[in-house]
Chain A
Amino acid sequence: MIRSKHLALLLGLLALSPLVFGQEDNCVTCHREFEDEQTGPSHMFVRDIHAQKGLGCADCHGGDTAAEDMEDVRRAKNYRGVPTHRQVPDFCARCHSDPAYMHEHNPSLPTDQLDKYKSSVHGQRMFRERDAKVADCISCHSVHEIGSGLMPHSSTHPLNLPQTCGKCHADAEYMAEYGIPTTQLDDYRQSVHGIALLERHDLGAPACNDCHGNHGAAPPGVTSLAAVCGNCHVLEAGLFKGSPHQEAFSQNDLPMCESCHSNHLIVETSDIMVGSAEPAVCVQCHEPDDGNAGLQTAMSISTAIKELRLAQEEAGKILAEAGAKGMMITDEEFLYKEVNQALIQARTQVHAFNADSVMAKTTEGLTKAETVQTNAASLIDEYYFRRKGLGLATVFITILAVALYLKIRRLEKNQ
C-alpha cells in the first residue's frame, strides 16, 4: 500500500513537473503557498489520476495559467472556476462524455456515465427534484485526489467502495429526510459478501455497485432481483426459474432471492434453512395445514441432504484416520472430493424445489461416500495387518538371531 502511494506520488510529481517547474502554469505555484499540505487541492492533486494522465488545473477549471494575478486568471475567456453542486455532473461530463477526447487519454473508459447518472436515483433527485444533498460525481470519486477503481487508495476501489457509499447511506441524520434504512453498511459488513471482500480481501466478492450499478445506481426491483443475483449465482437462478416458486413469487410480488436470503445481510447458507420447522425459511410462507405438498418436499430435501452430509463427515473422519496412519489415500481423496462436489450440487439443486432432482445428487454422493468409507476402512485394516506382519517377522528374525548367538557361544566355548 505504502509502495503504491509512493509510486502514485512519484508519477504525479512527474506529471506535474512541467506545471511545477515550468513557467507557464502558475496555479500550483500560487496555491501551494497558502493551501494545507494534507487537504489542499494543489497538494492532493499529485495523487490524482488526471495529473498522472498529464492534465493540469486549467483543463477542468479553465483560466490563464500563465497569469500571475488571480484577477487576470479569472478574466480569461475560458475560466470556469469552481462548479456548484448541480454543475458538477456536466462539469465532469465535458470530457467524460466526449468519446473523441477520452479516446486520447483512456480509450477503455465508457463515456455514458452522465446518461447513466441521469437515470439513477441520485441523478433524478439532482435534476428533477433539485436535491442539494444528493450524491454528485465528487461525492463518490472525491475531488483533486480522484483515482481509478483499480488504485488501492481510490474511493472507488472495491475495498473502499462500501465505506464510500456508507458515507451518506449509513449516516442516519443525513438520510433522515429520505425515509430509507441506514443499516445497509453494517448489514453488508456482517454478510457473506462483506466478510469475503472486507475481511478476506477477495476482490471477486460483490461490493455495493455490483448489485446496484454505479453511475446508474438504483435499488433492484422485485422483478430484476433474480437477474441481479443471477449475475454471479447463475445455476441457482436458472434452477429457480424452472421451479414452481417462480410463478408463485411473481403472482404475490415477492422478491425472489431476497425472500429467503435477505438483501444486505446475506449470511452464509446452511442446511437448516430448508425444512418443515423453524429455523427453516420455508415456514415463512408455508404452513403445516396449507394443504399443499410444499413442506413435504422441503422435508424430503432436508432429509436427503442431511443423510449425505453425515455420510460425508463419516467418510472424512475414516479417511483422515487412514491418512494419519501413514496410508496412501490419494485415490480415496479424489473420490472424497467427488462426494463434496455431490453435496454442493445437491445444495444447489435445492433452488429447483424438487425432491427428486436433489435426491439424484444425494444418491450419487452417498454411493461414493460409502466407497470412500469401505476403502478407508480397508486401509486401516491393512495398517494393522502390516504391524502384525512386522511382529511375526521380527519374532522370526529374533529367534534366528538368538539361535545364532547361542551357536557362536557354544563354538567359542568348544574352542
Chain B
Amino acid sequence: MPALTDSRIYKWVDERFKINDLVDYLSQKGVPQHRHYIFYYFGGISLFLFIVQVITGILLLMYYRPGADTAYESVQFIVANVSFGWLIRALHSWSANLMVFAVFVHMFSVYFTSAYRKPRELTWLTGMGLLGLALAFGFSGYLLPWNELAFFATRVGTGMAGALPVIGDDILIVMRGGEEVTGATIGRFFGLHVAILPGLFTVLLAAHLVFIQRQGMSEPLGWQNTTAAGRKMEKFFPNFLLKDLLVWLIVLNVLAVLAVFFPDGIGAVHWPLGVKADPFAPPPEVIRPEWYFMFAFQALKLLPAHVGFVEGELFGIMVFGLGGLVWTLVPFLDRKSHTGEINRLFYAFGWLVLAFILVMTVMGYFWE
C-alpha cells in the first residue's frame, strides 16, 4: 500500500500549505516509553471529551431556553420531543462527568510523576486553570435544567461562597443576581456556561497544547541518568497519534453505551430531570452536589460550628483555599524534583490529598 505522503491529495495540499514541514516536525517528536506510559493518554482523553462537550453543547443550545419559566420546559422538550435530544443530553452529561474524571487522573499522574517540574511550570499552571474551569463548567451547568435538585444544590453551593469574610455577601449577590437563586441566576450561569467559560477554556487549552508541543512529553524522573539503550522512545507521529485516536474510539464506544443504557446517569452520577424547581417548596431530604464536589461538601459538613474564633465553614474554605494554592504553586515550591530526584515531602502530600478526597467522597455517599 503506498504511503499517505505519496498520495495525490497529500501532494496537492503540501504544494499549497507546505505540510511536509509540519509532518517532519511531528515525526521528530518522541514519546518516552516507560511503566507509567499509559497516563499520557489521559490528557488526550480529556481533550476528546471536551470536544464532545462542545459539539453536544452547541446542539443543546439550539433548543435550550434560559429562564425560570422556560429552562425546565425546554430541557423536557429536548428529552421528550427533539429527535435524539435524549441522546445529546445524555452524551453531554456523561462526557462532562467523564471529562472531570479524566482531568483528575491526568492531574494526579502529572503530580506523582513530578511532570510539573522545570521547564513545565506554565503547562502545570494552565492545566490547573483548565481544571478550575472544568469544575466551573460543572457547577454552572448543573443549575441550567432548573429542576428541584439543581435549585437546592446551587443554593447550598452559592451559599458557601457567601460565607467568605468581607467579600462573601457581594460574591453571593453577583453569583445569584440577587439575594436568592432565581431566574436571574439562570441567566448568569447560562452566560457563564456557554460564553465566558468556553472563551477562557479555549485560550488556556490552546496555551496548554502549544506548551506541550513545544516542550514534548515529560520524561520520567531520573530518565536523563539512564543509558541511551534504556531510554526507549516512540514516534509521536504517526505512532502515538494513531494510538491516541484508537483510545478516543474506545472512549466514544464507552460513552455511547453509557448514554444509551443510562441516559439519566447511574448511582452517584445521575441527572434525572425530576420535578421543576419550586423556590417555595421544602428542600429535598438529601441535597448532594456533583460527585467531584462531594469531598469538599462532606469536609465542610464535618467541621464544628467554630474552630477557635473562626466559623467552621469559613475555616474549611480557608483551608481549601490554602491547600489549592500550595497545589497550584507546587512547581515553584518543589525545588528538588527538577534535579531528577523525587521530592518525598510533596509525594507524601499528594497521597495525603488523594486519600482525603477519596475518604471524604466515600463518606459523603455512605456515611450519615
Please give the distance in Å from B266's CB to the nearest CB on chain A.
11
Q: Which of A328, A331, A397 contacts B253 (CB 8 A)?
A: A397
A398 touches B245 (CB 8 A): no
A12 to B260 Cα, complex, angstroms: 66
Q: In the complex the two chains form, is B239's CB within 8 Å of A328's CB?
A: no
Contact (A401, B253) CB under 8 Å given A328-B86, A390-B260, A411-B238: yes
Say yes or no: A404 contacts B242, CB within 8 Å: yes
Q: Which residue of A lies closest to B255 (CB)?
A: A397
Q: CB-CB < 8 A to A108: which residues of B?
A: none
Hey, which chain A residues are within 8 Å of B262, CB to CB?
A: 326
Chain A nearest CB, measured from B239 CB (Å): 6
User: Could you say which of B80, B245, B250, B264 contacts A326, with CB atoms under 8 Å apart?
Assistant: B264
- The answer to the question of B163 belonging to the interface, with a C-beta cut-off of 8 Å to chain A, is no
Residues of B within 8 A of A389 (CB): 260
- A390 and B257 contact, Cβ closer than 8 Å, known pairs A326-B263, A331-B80: yes
- Whether A412 is near chain B, meaning CB under 8 Å from some CB there, is yes
A-chain residues with CB within 8 Å of residue B263 when the two chains form the complex? 326
Contact mask for chain B residues 230-265; partner A; CB cutoff 8 A; 1 contact, 0 none: 000001001100110110011011001100101110
Q: State in angstroms the CA–CA spacing of A386 and B79 once bound together.
A: 14
**Among A387, A390, A408, which residue has its beta carbon within 8 angstroms of that of B246?**
A408
State whether A407 touches B242 (Cβ < 8 A).
Answer: yes
Q: Is the CB of A330 within 8 A of B242?
A: no
* B-side contacts of A331, CB under 8 Å: 80
Give A397-415 as 1s and 0s: 1 = Cβ < 8 Å from B's Cβ atoms: 1101100110110011001
Contact A397 B239 (CB under 8 A): no
Q: Is the interface of A mostly helix, strand, loop or mixed?
A: helix
Contact pick for A390, options B238, B256, B273, CB 8 Å = B256
Q: A328-B86, A330-B80, A331-B80 are in contact. Are A408 and B256 (CB under 8 A)?
A: no
Taking the closest CB of chain A, its distance from the CB of B55, in whole angstroms, is: 15
Q: Which of A328, A393, A400, A411 contacts B79 (CB 8 A)?
A: A328
Contact (Cβ within 8 A) B252 A397: yes
In the complex, whether A394 has a CB less than 8 A from a CB of chain B is yes
Q: Please, how many angstroms separate the alpha-carbon atoms of A331 and B273 in the complex? A: 14
Query: For residue B328, which residues in chain A have a CB less than 8 angstroms away from its CB?
Result: none
Contact of A405 among B87, B239, B246 (CB under 8 A): B246
Interchain CB contact under 8 A, B249 and A400: yes
Chain B residues with Cβ below 8 Å from A401 are 246, 249-250, 253
Roughly how many angstroms separate A71 CA and B55 CA in the complex, as a whole number?
Answer: 99
Q: How far is the CA of A412 from the CA of B79 in the complex (A)?
A: 45
- Chain A: minimal CB distance from B226 (Å): 22
In the assembled complex, the Cα of A408 lies from the Cα of B238 at a distance in Å of: 9
**Size of chain A's interface in residues, with CB distance under 8 A?**
21
Complex: chain A residue closest to B246, CB-CB: A404
Q: Which of B76, B235, B249, B257 has the most CB of A within 10 A?
A: B249
Q: How distant is the Cα of A387 from the Cα of B260 in the complex, in angstroms?
A: 7
Cβ of A390: which chain B residues have Cβ within 8 Å of it? 256-257, 260
Cα–Cα, bound, A397→B80 (Å): 27
Chain A neighbourhood of B87, CB < 8 A: 386
Are B80 and A328 neighbours in the complex by a CB distance under 8 Å? yes
CB neighbors of A among B64-89 (8 A): 76, 79-80, 86-87
Q: Find chain B residues with CB under 8 A from A398 CB.
A: 253
Q: Which residues of chain B come closer than 8 Å to A393, judged between CB atoms?
A: 256
Which residues of chain B have C-beta atoms less than 8 A from A328's C-beta?
76, 79-80, 86, 273
A398 CA to B257 CA in the complex, in Å? 12
A330 near B76: Cβ-Cβ < 8 Å: yes
Contact between chains at B253 and A411 (CB < 8 Å): no
Contact between chains at B239 and A411 (CB < 8 Å) = yes
Per-residue 0/1 for A325-354: is the Cβ within 8 Å of any B Cβ (1 yes, 0 no)?
010101100000000000000000000000
Picked from A330, A394, A404, A415, the residue with its CB within 8 Å of the CB of B256 is: A394
Contact B239 A408 (CB under 8 A): yes
The answer to whether A408 and B257 have CB atoms under 8 Å apart is no
> Shortest beta-carbon distance, A354 to chain B, in Å?
40
Do residues B242 and A408 form an inter-chain contact, with CB atoms below 8 A? yes
Residues of B within 8 A of A415 (CB): 235, 239
A397 proximity list for chain B (CB < 8 A): 249, 252-253, 256
Residues of A contacting B256 in the complex (Cβ-Cβ under 8 angstroms): 390, 393-394, 397
CB distance from B273 to the nearest CB of A (A): 8
Q: How far is the CB of A224 from chain B (nearest CB, A)?
A: 43
Q: Which chain B residues lie closer than 8 Å to A400 at the CB level?
A: 249
Query: Nearest Cβ distance between residue A47 and chain B, in whole angstroms?
Result: 33
Q: A390-B256, A401-B246 are in contact. Are A412 and B76 (CB under 8 A)?
A: no
How distant is B209 from chain A, measured CB to nearest CB, in Å? 22
Q: Which of A330, A397, A411 has the most CB of B within 10 A?
A: A397
User: Least Cβ distance of A408 to chain B in Å?
Assistant: 5
In the bound complex, CA of A412 to CA of B239 (Å):
8
Given contacts A326-B263, A330-B76, A390-B260, contact A408 B243 (CB under 8 A): yes
Q: What separation, in Å, do the CA atoms of A397 and B247 have in the docked complex?
A: 11
Chain A neighbourhood of B260, CB < 8 A:
386-387, 389-390
With a CB–CB cut-off of 8 A, which chain B residues contact A405? 246
Alpha-carbon distance A175/B88, docked complex (angstroms)? 75
In the complex, which residues 356-415 of chain A have their Cβ closer than 8 Å to any Cβ of chain B? 386-387, 389-390, 393-394, 397-398, 400-401, 404-405, 407-408, 411-412, 415
| Shortest beta-carbon distance from B192 to chain A in Å | 28
Question: CA A390 – CA B263 in complex, angstroms?
Answer: 13
27 of the cross-chain contacts (CB-CB < 8 Å) are A326-B262, A326-B264, A328-B79, A328-B80, A328-B273, A331-B80, A386-B87, A390-B256, A390-B257, A390-B260, A393-B256, A394-B253, A394-B256, A397-B252, A398-B253, A401-B249, A401-B250, A401-B253, A404-B242, A404-B245, A405-B246, A408-B243, A411-B238, A411-B239, A412-B239, A415-B235, A415-B239
Extra 5 A-B pairs, beta carbons < 8 Å, given A397-B252, A411-B242: A389-B260, A394-B256, A394-B257, A411-B238, A415-B239
- Lowest 4 A-B CB distances belong to which pairs? A328-B80, A390-B260, A401-B249, A404-B246
